[in-house]
């Protein structure tokens, strides 16, 4: 069973990624890839150019060029 679903908010999805990054939860490689792709799609749709969203140590950034990235500290 997956630890995330499409009904979750972008903030909730970022929290799942942060929890995985800090090894609080485990995600399969397939789930992790699907989650990252979903977050990049959400970032493209929901963020304005130059805007970013940060949860814990994970940032979802939409550059002024339109490129969307997910960054971990």
Residue 31's closest CA among 58, 4, 70?
Answer: 4
Residue 50 belongs to domain spanning: 10-72
Residue 22's closest CA among 52, 53, 55, 51?
Answer: 55
pLDDT attached to residue 67: 97
3 part of a folded domain: no
Counted domains in the chain: 1
pLDDT for 6-53, tens place per residue? 999 999 999 999 999 999 999 999 999 999 999 999 999 999 999 999
4 part of a folded domain: no
Sheet containing 58-62, strands listed edge to edge, beginning at the edge strand earlier in sequence: 52-55, 58-62, 68-72
29 part of a folded domain: yes
Q: Report whether pLDDT(1) > 60.
A: no
pLDDT attached to residue 3: 83
27 part of a folded domain: yes
1 part of a folded domain: no
Kindly report the number of other CB atoms within 10 A of residue 60's CB atom.
24
2 part of a folded domain: no
Is the overall model pTM greater than 0.85, yes or no?
yes
20 part of a folded domain: yes
């Amino acid at each position: 069973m997956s630890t995330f679903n499409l009904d979750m908010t972008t903030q909730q999805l970022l929290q799942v990624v942060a929890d995985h990054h800090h090894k609080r939860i485990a995600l399969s490689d397939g789930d992790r890839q699907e989650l990252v792709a979903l977050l990049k799609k959400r970032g493209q749709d929901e963020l304005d150019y130059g805007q970013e969203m940060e949860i814990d140590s994970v940032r979802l950034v939409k550059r002024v060029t339109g490129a969307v990235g997910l960054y971990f500290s």
